[in-house]
Amino acid sequence: MKPLSGALSIGLIKAMVFILCLLPLGRAAYIVLSGEAVNPIEFITRSTGTWTLVFLLLTLAITPLRRLSGYTVLIKLRRMLGLYAFFYASLHFTTYLWLDQFFDVAAIIRDIAKRPFISLGFAAFVLLIPLALTSTDAMMRRLKRNWGRLHKLVYGIALLGVLHYWWLVKKDLTQPLIYAAILGLLLGLRLWWRWRGA
């Protein structure tokens, strides 16, 4: 395994990644506040949803990247990326409930019946909640082996996220196909290593 090289400490790396993870939110805020977004609510919804999926896939990419590169330091970034996935998912969900539906339960139920992809997104968000709540070292110690079993939900969550996006898009499926291909690769590598016993 390759050690952390150079003067960069894990603390500095985490700080840099933390700031980078906030850039999509800063960019979205700038676009909305500057008036560049034609439909601000739709833009925020799409942006936060896209970055939720990106961070989910980045979280899943950590283990393959660590195994292929030998840089064990990457594993120390996985929790942060996972929490950022939950952060953007929370913004995505809140934007839908508040700015789009104004907490109108009847309207939300009608919307779900009309657009089933919302059910997939809601299910993915609900499943993310226990993962976020148990992301601390204390919960890892308390749950022991059950912690690992619980956090395997991330595979199903990522699949629901990709399907949510796929069903949302009506015409050009290019981006959903890209996300699906990346997820397929990340899961395929895990299955391959498991089959080989590596």
60-100 pLDDT, tens digit per residue, is 999 999 998 888 888 999 999 999 999 999 999 999 999 88
| 167-195 pLDDT per residue, tens | 998 788 899 999 999 999 999 999 999 88
Mean pLDDT, all residues of the chain: 91
pTM: 0.90
Q: What is the model's pLDDT at position 7?
A: 44
Closest CA to 91 of 121, 113, 61, 59: 121
Q: How many CB atoms lie within 10 A of CB 150?
A: 14
Q: Please state which of the ranges 26-30, 160-164, 168-172 shows the lowest mean pLDDT.
A: 168-172
Q: 81, 21 in Cβ contact below 8 A?
A: yes
Residue 45 pLDDT = 94
Domain boundaries, the chain: 10-196
- Is the pLDDT higher at 7 or at 170? 170
